Amino acid sequence: MTDQYAVIGNPIGFSKSPFIHSSFAAATDQDIDYTKIEGPLGQFAETVDAFRASGGLGLNITAPFKLDAYAYATEHSERAKLAGAANAMKFEGEHVIAENFDGVGLVRDVTHNLQVALKGKHVLMLGAGGAARGALLPFLAEEPALLVIANRTRYKADELAQIGAAKGRVQACHYLDLAGQRFDVVFNATSASLRAELPPVPAEVFAEACLAYELAYGKGLTPFLRLAQNAGAPQLADGVGMLAEQAAEAFAWWRGVRPGTAIVIRALTVPLA
């Protein structure tokens, strides 16, 4: 019997996950059927119950259900606990295990695909929401010289900095405090680009050889990336590689084999112009 997996979200029509996981299955000779489920708002648990009853073995979770998935699970990884959210689940009998691969997928894209080391670097993360929480531990595991978390609401950045303090050198600040500071890598983990807006970050934060990374994908040259380009940042990237890498982590977690991502990334890449 073909094993059943899916992605759940609302809306879900935009999702590239069926293409990604079908490509992975073909490349690794795995017999799976991967679909997408548009879950009715307020009915996450009922929808997942039905999927499990039909034989479903695992789910990817996208907006707005990552918190619902965390609450639904019976077991949680350390990454999921820190993020307070899950982007993948697998079902083993009565056990529902929650994971969050967003951060590890992001780091894999930066260090492996883009060949940019974070070790010893000064790293800036804009935003302190779910995406930033998921990235915190994977970032600090790379041993940057300093990780600065900047957020419009300072106390949220402070909370993340306190969580990460035992793992590395991490500081919190408001956007206004960034004046005069320069960073080797700058990540936009805010939702501003989804609204075609620019987070209030000064152009001087981009060091001479800076990588500017937009976690959103498929948006082309977002206001954040345009700011970085105009400031002279030589390397720009969006989150398509992160999307593929976190999917590969989930696939390996489910199937025991990690697929390559290069073909998928090439197929999904939108020119930054």
Task: Provide the annotated active-site residues.
Answer: 66
Say if residue 273 carries a ligand binding annotation. no
Please indicate if the annotation marks 28 as binding a ligand: no
CA 194 distance to own-chain centroid: 14
Token pair listed for 80: 């999921």
Q: Is 10 annotated as a binding residue?
A: no
Question: Is 127 annotated in some ligand binding site?
Answer: yes
Query: Binding site annotation covers 78?
Result: yes
Q: Is there a binding annotation on residue 130?
A: yes
Beta strands at 32-38 and 146-150: parallel, antiparallel or unpaired: unpaired
Q: Which two tokens stand for residue 136?
A: 């915190």
62 is in an annotated binding site: yes
Rounded to whole angstroms, what are the CA distances from 200 to 38, 103, 150, 162, 223? 34, 23, 10, 23, 11
Determine if residue 77 is labeled as part of a ligand binding site: no
154 is in an annotated binding site: yes
Residues 238/270, Cβ–Cβ less than 8 Å:
yes
What kind and span of H or E run contains 110?
A: none
Q: What is d(CA 141, CA 261) in angstroms, rounded to the nearest whole number?
A: 22
- The b/e string for 42-59 (b: 16+ C-beta within 10 A; e otherwise) is eebeebbeebbeeebbbb
Q: Give the residue numbers of the binding site for shikimate.
A: 15-17, 62, 87, 102, 217, 246
Q: Give the residue numbers of the binding site for NADP(+).
A: 78, 127-131, 151-156, 215, 239
Q: Give the residue numbers of the binding site.
A: 15-17, 62, 78, 87, 102, 127-131, 151-156, 215, 217, 239, 246
